[in-house]
A and B are shown apart, each in its own frame.
Chain A
Amino acid sequence: MKRIILLSLPIALFVVLVVFFYSGLQRDPSVIPSPLIGKPAPAFTLESLADPRAQVGSLDFRGRPYLLNVWATWCGGCYQEHAVLLSIARENRLPLVGLNWRDERGKAQRWLEELGNPYAAVAFDGDGRAAIDWGVYGAPETFLVSAAGVVLHKHIGPMTAEAWQRDFVPRLGQAEP
């Protein structure tokens, strides 16, 4: 009897390890949870993409929820998600604020002219400093910010209609003042 217990011990250990590593395989290593969730959204004041003399700041949207979408013309996933952003903008539930990350102004302006502009305003983050404050490590990334200025959710990678319905729409009630 004692022998059986001793012999089954390594097998049990092996099973535990298999379960542990298998569950590890299911996780996407490129999705890193943001420490900003539940914290005040980082403040920024940047030049507007459309007009370098105008400014776009986080305070412009105080008192109402908004989506902050980090994008750039060099980013393939941004091209992929653009149609989804346009349809979210058409729903007219909350403004989309663009953070144009380390891009060229002319290219970014042309992108919006050609593909359509889903944004209420676009801030031009040429040196990537505001993006660091938001913990951005790869475009596209999309944040839901509540009317109280708190980050409620972060979506990493291209926005999809499913992700919008699943992760954002249920939180919109919470985002209202």
Chain B
Amino acid sequence: MIRLLALLLVLSAAAPAAAIDSEPAFDDPVLQQRYERLTQELRCLVCQNQSIADSNATLAADLRREVRRLLAEGRTDDEVRAFVTGRYGDFVLYRPPVTQRTWLLWAAPALLLLVGLGIAAAIVSRRARTATANGIAGGDEDEA
């Protein structure tokens, strides 16, 4: 059993090795790392739930080629992102920038947390008041 589990674990670790990208790696490991990170955060528009690093669509291969070319030319990550969003829009970014249209999306977790804290505080303070009114100061009871 344990052997089988170990085998499965090893096999699951090997999955990323089956890369879609057939191009040779950059000689410079830093450049290769940037290339891999950028292609993973760009969406393939033909197959919308895959990044261009994961997709074997022709368009994804073409876009990988462009990213590779721009990096080889010495462009920065932001310049590469601007190249793609200038043509395809912010939708290609898996991490959309904070803009007038997306601030609510980005702020939602914090806002919801605040709302939740507010509700919790209101309930706790009301319970405390009811408890005091009933003469059970300190609130030992746990009827809730």
Q: Looking across the interface, which residue of chain A has its beta carbon closest to that of B84?
A: A132
Question: Of all chain B residues, which has the CB nearest A102?
Answer: B58
Question: Which of A28-36, A45-53, A112-120 lies at the interface with chain B?
Answer: A28-36
Check A128–B62 contact: CB distance below 8 A. yes
- Docked Cα-Cα span, A30 to B48, in Å, equals 8
Segment with Cβ contacts to B, from A60-68, A89-97, A134-142: A134-142
Instruction: Report yes or no: B89 in contact with A135, Cβ–Cβ below 8 A.
Output: yes
Given contacts A29-B48, A102-B58, A137-B59, whether A132 and B89 have CB atoms under 8 Å apart is no
Contacting residue for B87 out of A30, A102, A127, A135, CB 8 A: A135
Measured as residues with beta carbon below 8 angstroms from the partner, the interface class of chain B is: 10 to 19
Q: Is there a chain A Cβ closer than 8 Å to B45's Cβ?
A: yes
Given contacts A137-B45, A137-B46, A138-B46, contact A32 B91 (CB under 8 A): yes
Chain B nearest CB from A22 CB (Å) reads 19
**B46 neighbours in A (Cβ, 8 Å):** 137-138
A residues 8-64 touching B (CB-CB < 8 Å) = 29-30, 32-36, 42
Give the size of the chain A interface in residues (CB under 8 angstroms): 19
Let me know if A35 and B45 touch, CB within 8 A.
no
Interface: A167 (CB within 8 A): no
Residues of B within 8 A of A33 (CB): 89
A135 to B66, CA, bound (A): 13
| Residue pair A32, B58 in contact (C-beta under 8 Å) | no
Q: Does A176 contact B (CB under 8 A)?
A: no
Which residue from chain B places its CB closest to the CB of A33 in the assembled complex?
B89
Q: Which of A29, A34, A127, A138 lies in contact with B89, CB distance below 8 A?
A: A34
> CB-CB contacts of B50-67 with A at 8 A, as 1s and 0s?
000000001100110010
A110 CB within 8 Å of chain B: no
Query: Closest CB-CB distance, A134 to chain B, in whole Å?
Result: 7
20 A-B pairs within 8 Å (CB atoms) are namely A30-B48, A32-B88, A34-B89, A35-B85, A35-B86, A35-B88, A36-B87, A42-B87, A128-B58, A128-B62, A129-B62, A129-B66, A131-B62, A132-B66, A132-B87, A134-B87, A135-B87, A135-B88, A137-B46, A138-B45
